[in-house]
Amino acid sequence: MERRRFIQIWAAAGMGRQAAAQSVDRAASPGRAGSIAPCSLRLRFGVAQFDHYDPLADIGKLEMWGFDYCEPAVAKVMGLSEGEFQMILKKTLAGRIHVEAMNSFIPADLKVVGSQVDRPRLRDYLKKALARAEALGAKVIVFGSGDARTVPGGFSKRRAWVQLQEFLRMAGDEASRNQYGMVIGIEALRKAESNIVNTSAEAYQLAVQTNHPKIQIIVHFFHLASEREDPAILRQVKDYIVHLHFSDPSRGRAFPRIESGHPAYLAFFSYLREIGYQGRMSLEANTSDFQTDAPTGLAAVRKLYADSCAD
């Protein structure tokens, strides 16, 4: 099927939240995407910590397989003693594969919404976490953290939305005050993982309302497809996108494979090409065989990316 016709069918089928997409302000501030020649795109590919594998432990393998960077978990790095952290830091700075992004920002027991928010504890955590992320060289901190941000039963979602803004400003201020190089990207999560900020349109609205130069968004294909959000949303939120995650929802949040052929793959990569996205894409997926799935997944996204520029 011809590419443009496929995208038209996708949109006409009502895949996604048309109302949400239409409500997004198209006049966003200048950002990473822009009006560039479509096939001058440059993507960098990495692996994000997820499931039971640790990209920091496998950093040598990532280099051998052809990845560009790794994305460890902030919460896991925060569990290291100072001596353990210094060992990891020395190892990562010595190799070719470096930390360029970090996920799992806030641990489950450190709530950012609800009646149990402990702002002094949050502030202390942010101070140490962002300092370690900066030392590792992270340029993007992914704020998914579904357990930490899930709204408790009976608590006002309107108030929780304000609390999210308060937390994000606190994190952004900490990064700005110390002149750290990273930004924080809000990640939309499917409803199975959080009951607030479930679409890229909502992540964008939260970032705009937070109104902080250190607060942007990331887009995860798995959550976008799981919530049946139209990939055309990339057009509206393009100026706030600082990072991407990718996994295959058709096989249980698996590493992508060329033969999978998920129906939204083509549209997603075509819109990335259209908006001129230039940045990172991390594979974040379940696996029982990391040594097979990681390099196979890299080959799959490289092919999808190349195919998007074939026209």
Q: Which of 3-7, 21-25, 140-144 comes out lowest in average pLDDT?
A: 21-25
Closest residue by Cα to residue 108 from 144, 160, 147, 79: 147
- Selected residue with higher pLDDT from 244 and 258: 244
Sign of CA dihedral 122, 123, 125, 126: positive
pLDDT in tens, 73-123: 999 999 999 999 999 999 999 999 999 999 999 999 999 999 999 999 999
In this prediction, residue 223 carries a pLDDT of 98
- Chain-centre distance for alpha carbon 106: 14
Q: Which of 20-34, 65-79, 190-204 comes out lowest in average pLDDT?
A: 20-34
Q: Is the pTM value of this prediction over 0.85?
A: yes
- Chain-centre distance for alpha carbon 91: 25
In this prediction, residue 217 carries a pLDDT of 98
In this prediction, residue 78 carries a pLDDT of 98
CATH topology of domain 3-10+29-308: TIM Barrel (3.20.20)
Do the beta carbons of residue 279 and residue 240 sit within 8 Å?
no
In this prediction, residue 39 carries a pLDDT of 60
Do the beta carbons of residue 239 and residue 28 sit within 8 Å?
yes
Q: Would you say residue 9 has pLDDT above 80?
A: no
Q: Would you say residue 163 has pLDDT above 80?
A: yes
In this prediction, residue 114 carries a pLDDT of 98
pLDDT in tens, 13-54: 333 333 333 333 333 333 344 444 456 558 999 999 998 899
In this prediction, residue 41 carries a pLDDT of 58
Distance CA 254, CA 206 (A): 28
If one counts every other C-beta atom within 10 angstroms of the C-beta of residue 206, the result is 20
Confidence of residue 307 (pLDDT cuts 50, 70, 90): confident
In this prediction, residue 6 carries a pLDDT of 36
Pairing mode of beta strands 241-246, 98-99 = unpaired
In this prediction, residue 34 carries a pLDDT of 47
In this prediction, residue 92 carries a pLDDT of 94
Q: Which residue has the tokens 């020649």?
A: 37
- Chain-centre distance for alpha carbon 81: 27
In this prediction, residue 306 carries a pLDDT of 87
Confidence of residue 180 (pLDDT cuts 50, 70, 90): very high
Q: Would you say residue 192 has pLDDT above 50?
A: yes
The residue extents of the domains of the chain are: 3-10+29-308
Q: Please measure the distance between the N-terminal and C-terminal CA atoms of the chain and give it in whole angstroms.
A: 13
Tokens for 167, please give them.
Answer: 């937390």
In this prediction, residue 8 carries a pLDDT of 40
pLDDT in tens, 121-138: 999 999 999 999 999 999
In this prediction, residue 258 carries a pLDDT of 82
- Selected residue with higher pLDDT from 297 and 23: 297
- Chain-centre distance for alpha carbon 308: 21
In this prediction, residue 263 carries a pLDDT of 87
Tokens for 155, please give them.
Answer: 């608590």
Q: Would you say residue 160 has pLDDT above 50?
A: yes
